[in-house]
Structure 1
């Protein structure tokens, strides 16, 4: 019987933080292959070392990009992100939509009017009305977040 391997704590940490290099196998730089300090799975470390090789060691972008398994445009994006944000720029961007993309201004206006006309509408009733009028399948939490963002009306 084979023993179950212990989980790698660094791998787990990289996965949880979103900094696991999805292309670690493409890093062919000698320091990452031979040594114990450099870890090709660590995306931030790989990006920093790429920039350092070009800036302090004077290596060309083309050769560094080839050794680190990325394209030159990707290198330029990493460099621009680092110049703009410092070390935080080396972190991967969050994936997915950046906001409530289904709730257009028209849908939000509809929600506002429906709530003004019938103050006690539940979220589920709003969802049904949005689906009927706009043909949109919106998640309940999306509507709840939009309602929280809506500025409170001042009492007169």
Structure 2
């Protein structure tokens, strides 16, 4: 396996490195040095452009860019909703707390309302006793801080 170029390293750092550049068989990518199959954002954008501007059928374009038809529609919707920046793959992994559910946090807040001096390690142990799940005290602190942050919907209207 070859060593990544500077551009590939940068693309990887920003999660924009195409994991399957060899699947891009579109003739435009082969003919133009500007088009880079390693750049997944460019690949996705060009696939949508090829369908919308060049009137290539969705199934044909998706296959030429290494995607399936369903992926084309998801990519096109993301592009329409958020522009090219929406084509950058999101961070992998969980998108929020899995253990500190609404039910668990309601329990934690009930404990704190009864005794505001409870520390996060004490709260974490109480959660383990009550729900049988192990949580890190720092996770409890972060979850409590998130719940205290004002939400945009709660911002008062100053008329």
**1:67 aligned to which of 41, 64, 69:** 64
**1:130 aligned to which of 117, 127, 142:** 127
Shift in Å at residue 50 of structure 1?
0.6
- 2:25 is aligned to 28
Q: Runs of at least 4 residues of structure 1 off by over 4 A?
A: none
TM-score, length-scaled by structure 1? 0.84
1:51 aligns with 2:51: no
Shift in Å at residue 12 of structure 1?
1.0
Looking at structure 1, the residues matched to 3 and 79 of structure 2 have their Cα atoms a distance apart, in angstroms, of 35
Deviates more, 1:136-145 or 1:73-82: 136-145
- 1:84 is aligned to 81
State the superposition RMSD in angstroms: 2.0
Shift in Å at residue 136 of structure 1?
1.1
TM-score, length-scaled by structure 2? 0.82
Helix, strand or coil for the counterpart of 1:150?
helix
Looking at structure 1, the residues matched to 94 and 106 of structure 2 have their Cα atoms a distance apart, in angstroms, of 21
Structure 2 unaligned regions, length at least 5: 150-159
- 2:113 is aligned to 116
- 1:144 is aligned to 141
Shift in Å at residue 7 of structure 1?
5.3
**1:19 aligned to which of 5, 16, 24:** 16
- 1:93 is aligned to 90
